[in-house]
Structure 1
């Protein structure tokens, strides 16, 4: 079957409509079939079409002058060879359930193609995931690394449910400022410890870190002093911000997690802001990293985060901070 490439589009004659009817290739037109560049190169490689004046190598080379074409073709080929019907748009590709095709089924995935070095812009990502959800599709990132290997990530916006085990009520406590932390005199198994606050220094004393201290001061649980002088929440916030330029985002995410009766603890050993306990499990359930909604992170950084979370059997959330609240974005590796 012959197809014509005019430097912009690739079209077949009327006989090409069989490709659409049988396997969902292309978009039908009055006098034939219009193929996307990825479809045409794939069909040429599979010897399903001929393009006069071009071999597979020469057409592939010419189209690869367009930025991103090579990796989008590699993703298209991988999806096709996994048994999916694939069409371009509305992101990069829409992918139908196995055994279904345009006109005889619905697409199930919306796929965005990235390289391992591409930036992930959280604001745009959230917009695309919301659009996919409104269309009842699953949003997937297809990431192509420098050795042309593919990894697929499912992206979800998670609405947190309250923890199944509510935390105990808290009493008011006095605390003494030590550096940018605080010392509270409470016996072992105090209300603060049972609610997941602080680190035991000795049988009489508990140390509270800056984020949890600010959270407790905001709730009126902790009265902080320096010597005999009281310290306001505003003054302590300014003090803590001097050495932590991520503090505002961490506080916003910490506060939201606490509002759902979760227990956030430092996630430093995992390379993230928090490890989070969602119930009575001995081990934490989530790794959470606070980012501004306008933040941009390299895909390689996100990949390391997801792999770390997977290796310790936790989910990986990024808490995107915005004036309208926190959007928890989950990244998870999947096999299509």
Structure 2
């Protein structure tokens, strides 16, 4: 079967319509078929199409002048060889359920293609995930590394459910500032500890981290003293944030997690802000990193985060702080 490449488009004659009818290639145009560059090159590679004046190599070189074409083609080829019908748009590709094709079925995935070094802009990512969800599709990132290996990530905006067991009530108390942290005199197994706050300093004292202290102060549960004088919430925040520029963002995400009766503890050993206990499990369920919604993060950094979370059997969430609230974005590796 032959097609014509005019420098911008690949068009088939009438005989090309069978490619659409049987396997979902291209889009009908007049009596023939309009093929996306990825589709045309794949068909040439599979020897199902001939473009006069071009070999596979020369056609590849021609299309590779387009920005990011090669990685896009590698993803297209991989999806096709996995048995999916693939068409371009509305992000990079829409992928149909196995056995279905345009006109007789509906797409399952909307796929965005990135390289391992591309930045992930969370505001745009969230917008695309929400659009996909409204279309009842799964949003997938297809990441191509520098050795042309592919990894697929499913991205979801998670709506947190409340913990099955409500957190215990905590009595009002007074704490003493020691550096940016605070200590409070309470016996072992106090209501603060049972509610998941603090680290036991000794049998008489509990030490509270800045984000915990700030949360308890903002709710009027704790008053903090420095040099015998009560310090206000605003004073403590201004002082503590001098050595922790992320404190404001962490505080908002911590507060939201606490609102669902989750127990956030430091996630430093996992390279993230929080490890989060969502119920009665002995081990934490989530790793959560707090960021501004407008944040930009290299895909390579996100990949390491997801790999770490997977290795310790936890979900990886980024808590994106915005004026309208907090959106928790989950990244999970998937096999298509």
TM bracket, shorter-chain basis: over 0.9
Question: Paired residue for 1:250?
Answer: 250
Distance in 2 separating the partners of 1:13 and 1:186: 83
Give per-residue Cα distances to partners, 1:28-67, cap 9 Å, x unaligned.
0112000000000000000001000000000001100111
Distance in 1 separating the partners of 2:221 and 2:184: 12
Count of matched residue pairs? 336
Q: CA RMSD in A?
A: 0.4
Question: Paired residue for 1:270?
Answer: 270
Question: Paired residue for 1:296?
Answer: 296
Question: What TM-score do the two structures reach when normalised by structure 2?
Answer: 1.00
Question: Paired residue for 1:234?
Answer: 234
Distance in 2 separating the partners of 1:77 and 1:186: 63
Distance in 2 separating the partners of 1:181 and 1:235: 14
Secondary structure of the structure 1 residue equivalent to 2:306: helix
Q: 1:13-162 to 2 correspondence within 5 Å? A: 13-162=13-162
Give the C-alpha shift of residue 227 in structure 1.
Answer: 2.5
Distance in 1 separating the partners of 2:185 and 2:80: 64
Distance in 2 separating the partners of 1:9 and 1:291: 42
Give per-residue Cα distances to partners, 1:210-252, cap 9 Å, x unaligned.
0000000001110100122000000000011100111111000
Distance in 2 separating the partners of 1:222 and 1:61: 67
Q: List, as ranges, runs of 4+ consecutive aligned residues in structure 1 with deviation greater than 6 Å.
A: none
Distance in 1 separating the partners of 2:295 and 2:29: 42
Question: Paired residue for 1:7?
Answer: 7
Distance in 1 separating the partners of 2:87 and 2:28: 12
Give per-residue Cα distances to partners, 1:46-92, cap 9 Å, x unaligned.
00010000000000011001110000000000000000000000000
